[in-house]
Structure 1
């Protein structure tokens, strides 16, 4: 007799839930909708059909997108989010990857914890990556050490010239230094990397537009 483990029970529950959503979307809701439409004028029905279509399809597609826009959770001081276990673990855990440390350092920097981000980057086994240098430059620049930050950005670009995010941040640093011409040069490079609609281009363009010397 096969043993029923908690993991197996969870898998069966998830499968049952998915089927239940599908049955509800395909069978129950359409039947209710048809009964409702039987009381409405044809002109109103034509206007409502696109809305009903969205309502019927959105839940089905959303079922598989729970983690698409998930954000890195905040961990207690001295801990880092482990993407493998999906938990906060002590910073000094040997199994913690440089990739997770680098990502969490950026998370800290975006929250305004710049020194904590730098301290975490200092623990990397291999800090010579485009991402690590970029995030180090970002945190350093935000601490007011713009020249030092620019140096880190340039090291990042040397490792990966196609890295659009570091070029956005370098452009912003040049604006701080009063060099909008160099910021625009980075903007032009970003356009060749990801076009005019990518986030990096839009953010740097907005920074340039809002700079009085541009």
Structure 2
């Protein structure tokens, strides 16, 4: 039996894995929402096909998430929710953050809390989810809880980061009412 040094075996395993990944069908992953072209309602951009498509079941989760973010940026919240509902593997902090955001923007701040909290269970240092959770608390008149989220954000990324600045402004506005 041929005995290879351990690092050689690991190198072979890595090489086999890389070749297997390269042999998979191309379905380019789009990670930035601004790289996703705007599609008409009922369609979603499929990076693998390079065009808008009507069959969401054939579109990758990464593309569905990027398309949902694009719809969020365009304030097309109901469409974003439909895209998020089509995601197969929902157990990510980013998914739950987006789901909380569209739920809140569609007028259900109480319902959004469940999604933001789930995002934070998966990633307690997700400053943007804490910002949005704080904004949901403000919509519900729960200022002390929003202040706690602001303090958590400060510990995560400081007082100069965008989530801190955004929640701080929203908190000041809520207190000024």
TM bucket by the smaller chain?
0.7 to 0.9
User: Is the partner of 2:175 in helix, strand or coil?
Assistant: coil
Deviation at residue 71 of structure 1 after TM alignment = 5.2
Q: Rg bigger for which structure?
A: 1
Deviates more, 1:163-172 or 1:111-120: 111-120
Q: Is residue 2:169 matched to residue 1:206? A: yes
Q: 1:118 aligns with which of 56, 74, 81?
A: 81
Aligned partner of 1:190 in structure 2 is 153
> Judging changes above 3 Å, is the alpha-carbon distance between structure 1 residues 70 and 129 closer, same or farther for their aligned structure 2 residues?
closer
Structure 1 gaps of 5+ residues are 1-67
Aligned partner of 1:128 in structure 2 is 91
CA contact (8 A) 1:180 1:213 kept: no
Give distance in 2, aligned partners of 1:91 and 1:164: 34
Structure 2 gaps of 5+ residues are 1-31
Aligned runs of 1:1-214 on 2, under 5 Å?
Answer: 72-83=36-47, 87-92=50-55, 96-212=59-175
> Judging changes above 3 Å, is the alpha-carbon distance between structure 1 residues 70 and 140 closer, same or farther for their aligned structure 2 residues?
closer
> Judging changes above 3 Å, is the alpha-carbon distance between structure 1 residues 141 and 93 closer, same or farther for their aligned structure 2 residues?
closer
RMSD (CA atoms): 2.3
Give distance in 2, aligned partners of 1:135 and 1:169: 10
Deviation at residue 119 of structure 1 after TM alignment = 0.8
Deviation string for 1:22-53 (max 9, x for gaps)?
A: xxxxxxxxxxxxxxxxxxxxxxxxxxxxxxxx
Deviation at residue 186 of structure 1 after TM alignment = 0.6
CA contact (8 A) 1:83 1:100 kept: yes
Q: TM-score, normalised by structure 1?
A: 0.61
CA contact (8 A) 2:46 2:53 kept: no
